[in-house]
Amino acid sequence: MELYSYFRSSASFRVRIALALKSLPYDYRTVHLVRNEQTGPAFAAVSPQRLVPLLKDGEATLTQSMAIIEYLDEVYPEPPLMPADPLGRARVRSLSQDIACEIHPLDNLRVLRYLVKELGASEDAKNAWYRHWVEVGLEVVERQLSEQPATGTFCHGDTPTMADCLLVPQIFNAQRFDCRLDHVPTVMRIFENCMRLPAFLAAQPSACPDADA
């Protein structure tokens, strides 16, 4: 497999965690987002979205991190990243979408660039926007994790699922932008549990071949 990724890309980080949890080897292909390689001809030729991650598995090209993780889970089922029961799977997808659909798109690089370059937002205004959507979004995740009995050591039960693959990169982003996190203690407890596992450590930005590129 080949993973098109950027070390700081939280959506790529999600897939790197899933690959590491499943001990799947892959070739790392850097798409340097700050240098706009995502819109350059080489990547545009393979990616309709011009976004990372993108996974190639043989002849297949996969995009969208949640779709990639579910694909990996179906084709390489051990260890499972989705619960065996429909309600459990719905909960894991719901938690994952709270991050992938409600938080991340608002703070994506191209959105931040649009705020600054097209709408004239200052650096302070951009950072306030970023923090606002992360803090509000994580509060939603916290409510579910703290109130629902299915929460365990991890987001759903006592083994990592797709929801943890999404939660951890979002916390890395939140910490990088100095977001408040004292209002989400359950989120942080689960984050810390995840970061004790070798797969999460191996997938983190500082462990990527293009770290600090």
Nearer to ligand GSH, 20 or 54 (CB): 54
Q: From the CB of 98, what's the least distance to ligand GSH, in Å? A: 13
Residues that bind ligand GSH (CB under 6 A): 9-11, 33, 38, 51-53, 64-66, 100, 108-110
Of 44 and 136, nearer to ligand GSH (C-beta) is 44
**3-class SS of residue 4:** strand
Q: How many helices and strands, by DSSP H and E, does the chain display?
A: 9, 4
Exposed, middle or buried: residue 36 (CB in 10 Å: 0-12, 13-18, 19+)?
A: middle
Q: Which is nearer to ligand GSH, 61 or 108 (CB)?
A: 108
Q: Please report how close the Cβ of residue 182 comes to ligand GSH at its closest, in angstroms.
A: 25
Which amino acid appears at position 67 of this protein? A
CB of 51 to ligand GSH, least distance (A): 4
| Comparison of 17 and 66: residue with beta carbon closer to ligand GSH | 66
SS3 196: coil
Helix, strand or coil, per DSSP, at residue 156:
coil
DSSP 37: G
H or E stretch at 3: strand 2-5
